Structure 1
């Protein structure tokens, strides 16, 4: 499980750097009785610096990794008025 959390954090940070250069990135790791949750958020990038290119395989790999451990992965834009993106991995303990 630890390796899945580490790899997901690495990929989410890489994606933030690639798609929102200059954005601030935050990681939150939570342990609960039945759940481990990793949340990686970024503040987004100015439109002039936004990079939308990419194969999309990073998110696919993160979802597959989560699924293999009976977990879930959610990724998408933050709710307005916040700007940025969030990746949330949840794995059963």
Structure 2
């Protein structure tokens, strides 16, 4: 970080994680700063949840489909002994 008006430095990335630094406009030991920090944490947690939820939803859908397909194959091959369930056909 440099003086005001200096160019923004590149972000610090360690093991795929980005270090975020910020400076409060209020004094660090003030009541306003004590209220600002939890609000910032909520914003970052919400942003993380917004990214994780769609990925988790797609992953569980794919897993569910694969599981259903596998269970159906086991039933057709080993329980019902259907002749048309040969994967070579």
When normalised by structure 1's length, the TM-score is 0.25
Question: Higher relative CO (CA 8 A, sep ≥ 6), structure 1 or 2?
Answer: 1
Please tell me whether Structure 1 or Structure 2 has the larger radius of gyration of its CA atoms: 2
Higher fraction of strand? 1
